[in-house]
A and B are shown apart, each in its own frame.
Chain A
Amino acid sequence: SYVLTQPPSVSVAPGKTARITCGGNNIGSKSVHWYQQKPGQAPVLVIYYDSDRPSGIPERFSGSNSGNTATLTISRVEAGDEADYYCQVWDSSSDYWVFGGGTKLTVL
């Protein structure tokens, strides 16, 4: 089955840029979606179709996808961005919804 690999943790200072990667075999050929989950809360969609933002998500959140790596970029990081972030794809070859293992973003 398809596997998505994320770094367990990323740390960034306030006001800087955080980049969270999601690796997968030829992931650039798939659409990647990203979710933010704060402690004790349900996940929230922050990026879909690699780089589109749902309404209400700040422009500071952006995404890209090419080759074997998709990236969620958070610019001008704020304390409120501290959360777990998950990438997700749909594997059409097996009709499976696949999540990455999640990345804990720590704002220093």
Chain B
Amino acid sequence: EVQLVESGGGLVQPGGSLRLSCAASGFTFSSYSMNWVRQAPGKGLEWVSYISSSSSTIYYADSVKGRFTISRDNAKNSLYLQMNSLRAEDTAVYYCARVLYGGGTYYFDYWGQGTLVTVSS
């Protein structure tokens, strides 16, 4: 059974940093690209960042570029999101999601339960 378990969320002051983790199990983690997607309270889904299976390709949403860093450790079956210079508007539930590619498109077939990040003084 595919499982994705996020951790590392919490309360942080504006300008602070936080590192999110996503532990994967039930599939060959090193064969799949992964994404982070977030959802502000009461709002819709927003894509945050993408990393390919070998970490050779990385993309970021404009809203986090230069502040967030995505990475992965295939030996530990783990995905990470280092978040620096946090702002109030970064407050959200952060989901990790497994990515599938085919037919010239990408989609997310499995999602974790999410971890809440609150940026507030």
Contact = CB atoms under 8 A, between A and B. Distances in A.
Interface of A: 30-31, 33, 35, 37, 41-45, 48-49, 54, 84, 86, 88-90, 92, 95-102
A10 B59 CA distance: 34
A26 to B, nearest CB: 15
Question: Do most interface residues of chain B lie in helix, strand or loop, or is the interface mixed?
Answer: strand
Contacts of A86: 44-45
Interface of B: 35, 37, 44-47, 50, 59, 61, 95, 100, 102-114
A42 B94 CA distance: 10
Contacts of A48: 100, 107, 109
23 contacts: A30-B105, A31-B105, A31-B107, A33-B108, A42-B114, A43-B45, A43-B108, A44-B111, A45-B107, A48-B109, A49-B105, A84-B44, A88-B108, A90-B106, A90-B107, A92-B104, A95-B50, A96-B47, A96-B59, A96-B61, A97-B47, A98-B47, A102-B45
A88 B107 contact: yes
Nearest to A88: B107
Given A42-B95, A54-B109, A49 B102 contact: yes
A95 B99 CA distance: 14
Contacts, number: 63
A13 to B, nearest CB: 26
Which 5 A-B pairs rank lowest in CB-CB distance, beginning with the nearest? A97-B47, A31-B105, A33-B107, A42-B111, A102-B44
A90 B105 contact: yes
A48 to B, nearest CB: 5
A44 B2 CA distance: 13
Contacts of B110: 45
Contacts of A45: 107-110
